[in-house]
Chain A
Amino acid sequence: DAGVIQSPRHEVTEMGQEVTLRCKPISGHDYLFWYRQTMMRGLELLIYFNNNVPIDDSGMPEDRFSAKMPNASFSTLKIQPSEPRDSAVYFCASSLAGQGTQPQHFGDGTRLSIL
């Protein structure tokens, strides 16, 4: 079975450029989550969707970050303009349901470096 697919795996770009990270969740999963991992802050939830609708975006750092889910099989996380402090590994995860009985399945992440 295909797991959560993220692209690109690595992204290096200059400060000020727009960055778009992509995610394809597992088919049939109703929930999609975006996380960020840094050495300083560990793994943090940025935003999650239920049935393509954003439910909680309280973890999004600031207005430079935006996320969309135009359909059940695709989501994007966009940073515009990017800054060096946005350098991190970004993970997408999906699950059948959001509550504590259902595991989340993670992709392998996008390693983002902003120069």
Chain B
Amino acid sequence: DAKTTQPNSMESNEEEPVHLPCNHSTISGTDYIHWYRQLPSQGPEYVIHGLTSNVNNRMASLAIAEDRKSSTLILHRATLRDAAVYYCIPWMDSSYKLIFGSGTRLLVRP
């Protein structure tokens, strides 16, 4: 399983963009990069995933480095509701296991 490195915590101001980095230097060519987040007292919530190309959805954007050894989750305008722990998870297409690391705790200041 690919190992990930994420900052323990980050802070942002409300309505400003947030860039959450993740290093996954041991990722294999068939691993998808998934991002989940966990709000307080809730279960993890899927945010976005990608393989090689940058991806956008209504929640966020995912920028994947050309060598795929790192990725960045982009929240375009942080809100207070975005305060959560964000997990970056390389996920083998042939595997059924999501392996959660320690994630990045995002604090959003009003």
Q: Is A71 an interface residue (CB 8 A)?
A: no
- Can you name 25 A-B pairs with beta carbons within 8 Å? A4-B43, A31-B96, A33-B98, A42-B100, A43-B44, A48-B96, A91-B43, A93-B43, A98-B95, A98-B96, A99-B94, A99-B96, A100-B31, A100-B32, A101-B49, A101-B93, A103-B46, A104-B44, A104-B46, A105-B46, A106-B43, A106-B45, A108-B42, A109-B42, A109-B43
Number of A-B contacts (CB under 8 A): 55
- CB interface residues, A 1-41, toward B, < 8 Å: 4, 31, 33
Q: Is B58 an interface residue (CB 8 A)?
A: no
A interface bracket (residues with beta carbon within 8 Å of B)? 20 to 34
Task: Give chain B's interface secondary structure class.
Answer: loop
Whether A108 pairs with B34 at a CB distance below 8 angstroms is no
- CB interface residues, A 41-69, toward B, < 8 Å: 42-45, 48, 55-56
Whether B98 pairs with A99 at a CB distance below 8 angstroms is no
| Complex Cα spacing A91 to B98, Å | 13
B93 in complex: contacting residue of A44, A91, A100, CB < 8 Å: A100
- CB interface residues, B 69-110, toward A, < 8 Å: 91-102
B34 in complex: contacting residue of A33, A55, A103, A106, CB < 8 Å: A103
Determine how close the nearest CB of chain B comes to the CB of A60; give it in whole angstroms.
Answer: 14
Whether B101 pairs with A45 at a CB distance below 8 angstroms is no
Whether B32 pairs with A101 at a CB distance below 8 angstroms is yes
- CB interface residues, A 65-95, toward B, < 8 Å: 91, 93
